[in-house]
Structure 1
Amino acid sequence: MAANRWLKPEVYPLFASVGVAVGICGMQLVRNITTNPEVRVTKQNRTAGILENFAEGEKYSQHSLRKYVRGKQPQIMPSVNNFFSDPSN
Structure 2
Amino acid sequence: MASTTASRWLRPEVYPLFAAVGVAVGICGLQLYRNIRINPEVRVNKQNRAAGVLENHQEGEKYSEHGLRKFVRNKTPEIMPSLNRFFTEPK
* Smaller-chain TM-score bracket: over 0.9
Cross-structure match for 2:72 = 69
2:46 is aligned with 1:35: no
Shift, 1:83, TM fit:
2.8
Q: Does 1:20 align with 2:34?
A: no
Q: 1:55 aligns with which of 36, 58, 61?
A: 58
Point out where structure 1 has 5 or more consecutive residues left out of the alignment: none
5+ residue gaps, structure 2: none
Percent identity reads 72
Measured on the aligned residues, the alpha-carbon RMSD in Å equals: 1.0
Q: CA deviation at 1:4?
A: 1.9
User: Alignment length, in residue pairs?
Assistant: 88
1:7 CA drift (Å)? 0.6
Query: Normalization by structure 1: what TM-score?
Result: 0.92
* TM norm structure 2: 0.90
1:44 aligns with 2:47: yes
> Which position in structure 1 is the counterpart of 2:8?
5
Per the alignment, in what secondary structure is the counterpart of residue 83 of structure 2? helix
